[in-house]
Amino acid sequence: MEVLFMIVPVGVVLSVVSFLFFEKRSIQAKKLKESQGLPPPSVADFYEKFKRYDTIPNTIGFFLASYAISFILATVNHDPSYGILHALSYIFSTTFIGSMIIFIMKMKKNLLVQVFAGFLYGAPHILASALAFLTRYIVS
């Protein structure tokens, strides 16, 4: 269990930095589209808002970055003999702490932005980390 105290902080820091990188790319995409003179999407047009922020490519990029981070941490510092509980503890801890950091960073935004940002961090991170540990168990 002491390995968790080493890999959880590293996993949180790297995944939050990765999320912020892709969030910055998303905001830059929106500014680029606004500078091109595209009219703002209507309030009800949710898909157009996704396209304006390049949400899907950036979410996929964050997923791949989270997978790589988790796989590297699982390969370097994690022994498959630790068991599934150890892997699940890492996945839950990093996702929970990272989501709370994102939620607190968005405190000045409205609640919908806070929840949506936390979801865009948490959902890909959980899946990527789970697949990374599963890959590690299959490979070893």
Q: What confidence tens digit (pLDDT) does each residue in 4-54 have?
A: 888 899 999 999 999 999 988 888 887 887 787 766 666 666 666 667 677
What does the pLDDT read at residue 60?
A: 92
Q: How many independent structural domains does the chain possess?
A: 1
Mean of pLDDT values over 54-70: 91
Using 50, 70 and 90 to split pLDDT, how confident is the model at 72?
Answer: very high
Six-digit token string for 83? 């068991």
The predicted pLDDT at position 27 comes to: 81
Tell me which residue range forms the domain holding 13. Answer: 2-139
pLDDT at 89 over 80: yes
